Amino acid sequence: MPMLKVTLLYAAILGIINLWLSWRAGKVRVSDKIMIGDGGNELLRARMRAHANFNEYVPLALILMALIEFHAGPALGLWVLGGLLALARLAHPFGMERPAPNALRAGGILVTYLVTIALILWAIYVVFQPSGAPIDPRFA
Q: What is the 3-state secondary structure (H, E, C) of the chain?
A: CCCCHHHHHHHHHHHHHHHHHHHHHHHHHHHHCCCCCCCCCHHHHHHHHHHHHHHHHHHHHHHHHHHHHHHHCCCHHHHHHHHHHHHHHHHHHHHHCCCCCCHHHHHHHHHHHHHHHHHHHHHHHHHCCCCCCCCCCCCC
> Which whole number is the average pLDDT over 117-137?
81
- For the stretch 10-68, pLDDT in tens is 999 999 999 999 999 999 999 999 999 999 999 999 999 999 999 999 999 999 999 99
What pTM was computed for the model?
0.88
Spans of all domains in the chain: 5-127
* Average pLDDT of every residue of the chain: 91
CATH 1.20.120.550 fits 5-127, yes or no: yes
